[in-house]
Amino acid sequence: MWRGMRYARSRSSTSDCRSSRTSGARWSRITVHHSADVEDEGSFGSLGETVATLQRIQRVHMDPGDPSHGWGDIGYHFLIDPSGRILEGRQLDWQGAHARGVNNRTNIGVCLLGDFSRRAPSAASLDSLQRLLDDLRERFDIPATRVLVHKELVATACPGPSLTAWVERYRKRGAPRP
């Protein structure tokens, strides 16, 4: 099981959710994203700074006045900062809102904080991603071939070329479950 720093969601770190749709089914895949926030780069020295970024993302995702959002909570189940800290976003009891429509069904959303369209994620964040993916795959019996990137489900550049290449290598290795 999990062997690293993972921070459970607490009332002090994010707002209450309004999710009304439980996952209702067994998890069958994992989708990797990047937050694409250039402004976040270099601003993750402390856990408090990371939590502030999560709160900002959650506000955007829950904004009822935004026609492309207005969701019940932050869309991702887990978020990883450049220091390698893994934070819980939306609880796994709830269907995510990260891959558009039916693509969210039975799909765990993992987001690395930062914009990886022109640079690679940090080694610490990739190490944590590896461990989180291995843990989720073991817990829910998800094959490595079912670890996807956002752009495989919808027309987007997310999560950028370097993170896409990392996920493709992860799948090819088969990343044996521990």
Give the pLDDT confidence of 38-58 residue by residue, as tens digits: 555 555 678 888 888 888 888
Q: How confident is the model at residue 1 (pLDDT cuts 50, 70, 90)?
A: very low
Q: Give me the pLDDT at residue 49, please.
A: 84
Confidence of residue 125 (pLDDT cuts 50, 70, 90): very high
pLDDT of residue 61: 72
What is the CATH architecture of 31-173?
3-Layer(aba) Sandwich (3.40)
Domain residue ranges in the chain: 31-173
Confidence of residue 4 (pLDDT cuts 50, 70, 90): very low
- Write the DSSP assignment of the chain as a string of letters: ---S-EE---TTTSPPP----B--S---EEEEEE---GGGTT--SSHHHHHHHHHHHHHHHH-TT-TT---SS-S-SEEE-TT--EEE-S-TTB---SS-GGGGTTEEEEEESS--SSSPPPHHHHHHHHHHHHHHHHHHT--GGGEEEGGGTSSS-TT-HHHHHHHHHHHHHT----
Total length of the chain: 178
Is the pLDDT at 99 greater than 90? The verdict is no
